[in-house]
């Protein structure tokens, strides 16, 4: 059997990955951020998940405007770090869990979600930076990973409601999984990544809205059924053009129970030119 033991909402700012890769965590600019996320590292070490389902968006590494799946799930045994124009990050190859991934794909498709099944896929900072924030710099990632990629690059992205519904379907799928010959249950953590408020281009480039970010986190925890109805227009207006990535956090929230306990929260402005958020939830 498998069970979801926690949910993580995390920004995936590429500059954070570069700071880790270049060992800048103690530098004055970066130390306040890394101090804030230390409790998350302690939590994930205590939980020691077998599998992390990481919901993220690709940044033209595995997909391009030639092929734009709304939801894509990686079912391979491993996923190499992508070359994002300056060489792949020097992080471990991401090890998949094909058995769980294929079960998820089957269950989600039969639950009427049109998933794109991907057998070969490099993974970029959208997935690897949250792993680095929580797991540090191991020789191997201490868990297997099921990548679930969401289109938030090319309009129209899915709504927060659709992402929340997908998370609920993921919970049903995980709970119906049988681990075959394994003699122990699988513990699963679901990551929703992206955001928080930021805009990378145009007249509002550099926009951050810390008040919106905190309101989003409050609503995510306490009132997801209404918060998931926020429109794309509101995200863009309040959180910037890339703030719409926050819809992916609702996949994580949907995978959790209605009532959750907030284990920790961190919010930091700025990391690079973006707002950065991190939240951990457990089922009540």
Residues 217-262 have pLDDT tens digits of: 999 999 999 999 999 999 999 999 999 999 999 999 999 999 999 9
In the predicted structure, residue 211 carries a pLDDT above the cut 70? yes
Report d(CA 126, CA 154) in Å as an integer.
Answer: 16
pLDDT at 184: 65
- Provide φ and ψ at 129, rounded to 5°: -65, -45
Given a contact cutoff of 8 angstroms between Cβ atoms, the answer to whether 78 and 275 are in contact is no
In the predicted structure, residue 150 carries a pLDDT above the cut 90? yes
In the predicted structure, residue 200 carries a pLDDT above the cut 80? yes
Report d(CA 246, CA 195) in Å as an integer.
Answer: 5
- Provide φ and ψ at 10, rounded to 5°: -150, 135
Percentage of the chain modeled with pLDDT above 70? 98
**pLDDT per position as a tens digit, 36-50:** 999 999 999 999 999
User: Which region among 51-55, 168-172, 201-205 has the lowest average model confidence (pLDDT)?
Assistant: 201-205
Report d(CA 173, CA 230) in Å as an integer.
Answer: 26
Sheet holding 186-193, edge to edge: 116-118, 71-74, 144-150, 51-56, 186-193, 2-10, 274-283, 260-271
Catalytic residues: 125, 198
pLDDT at 178: 81
For the residues 4-12, what does the mean pLDDT come to? 98
Sketch the domain layout of the chain as residue ranges: 2-192+244-264
pLDDT at 55: 98
Q: Which residues contact 122 (CB under 8 A, 6 or more apart)?
A: 61, 62, 79, 80, 81, 82, 83, 88
Does this model's pTM top 0.95? My answer is yes
Report d(CA 261, CA 38) in Å as an integer.
Answer: 19
| Sign of the dihedral through C-alpha 155, 158, 62, 118 | negative
Helix locations, 58-155, DSSP H: 98-110, 125-135
In the predicted structure, residue 35 carries a pLDDT above the cut 80? yes
In the predicted structure, residue 146 carries a pLDDT above the cut 60? yes
pLDDT at 183: 53
pLDDT, mean over the chain: 96
pLDDT at 231: 98
For the residues 265-272, what does the mean pLDDT come to? 96
Given a contact cutoff of 8 angstroms between Cβ atoms, the answer to whether 74 and 80 are in contact is no
pLDDT at 1: 85
Query: What is 2-192+244-264's CATH superfamily?
Result: LigB-like (3.40.830.10)
With cut-offs at 50, 70 and 90, classify the pLDDT of residue 185: confident
Report d(CA 272, CA 198) in Å as an integer.
Answer: 10
Nearest CA-CA partner of 163 in 198, 193, 137: 193
- Provide φ and ψ at 123, rounded to 5°: -120, 135
pLDDT at 182: 56
Q: Which residues contact 65 (CB under 8 A, 6 or more apart)?
A: 154
Percentage of the chain modeled with pLDDT above 90? 96
pLDDT at 14: 96
Strand 94-95 with 260-271, pairing: unpaired
pLDDT at 74: 98
Report d(CA 164, CA 141) in Å as an integer.
Answer: 27
For the residues 125-132, what does the mean pLDDT come to? 98
CA atoms within 13 A on the CB side of 78: 8
């Amino acid at each position: 059997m498998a069970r979801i033991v926690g949910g993580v909402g995390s920004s995936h700012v590429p500059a954070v990955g570069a700071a880790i890769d270049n060992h800048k965590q103690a530098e004055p600019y970066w130390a306040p951020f890394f101090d804030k996320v230390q409790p998350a590292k302690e939590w994930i070490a205590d939980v020691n998940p077998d599998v992390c389902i990481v919901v993220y968006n690709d940044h033209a590494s595995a997909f391009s405007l030639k092929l734009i799946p709304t939801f894509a799930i990686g079912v391979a045994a491993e996923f190499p770090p992508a070359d994002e124009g300056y060489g792949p990050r020097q992080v471990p190859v991401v090890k998949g869990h094909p058995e769980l991934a294929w079960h998820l794909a089957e269950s989600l498709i039969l639950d009427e979600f049109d998933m794109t099944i991907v057998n070969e896929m490099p993974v970029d900072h959208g997935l690897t930076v949250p792993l680095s924030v929580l797991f540090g710099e191991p020789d191997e990632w201490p868990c297997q990973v099921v990548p679930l990629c969401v289109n938030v690059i090319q309009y129209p992205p899915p709504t927060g409601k659709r992402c929340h519904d997908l998370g609920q379907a993921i919970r049903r799928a995980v709970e119906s999984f049988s681990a075959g010959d394994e003699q122990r249950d699988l513990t699963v953590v679901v990551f929703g990544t992206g955001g928080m408020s930021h805009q990378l281009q145009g007249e509002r480039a550099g926009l951050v809205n810390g008040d919106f970010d905190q309101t989003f986190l409050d609503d995510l925890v306490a009132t997801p059924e209404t918060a998931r109805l926020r429109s794309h227009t509101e995200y863009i207006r309040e959180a910037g053009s890339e703030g719409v990535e926050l819809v992916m956090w609702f996949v994580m929230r949907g995978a959790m129970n209605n009532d959750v306990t907030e284990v920790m929260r961190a919010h930091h402005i700025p990391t690079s030119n973006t707002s950065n958020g991190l939240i951990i939830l457990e089922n009540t």
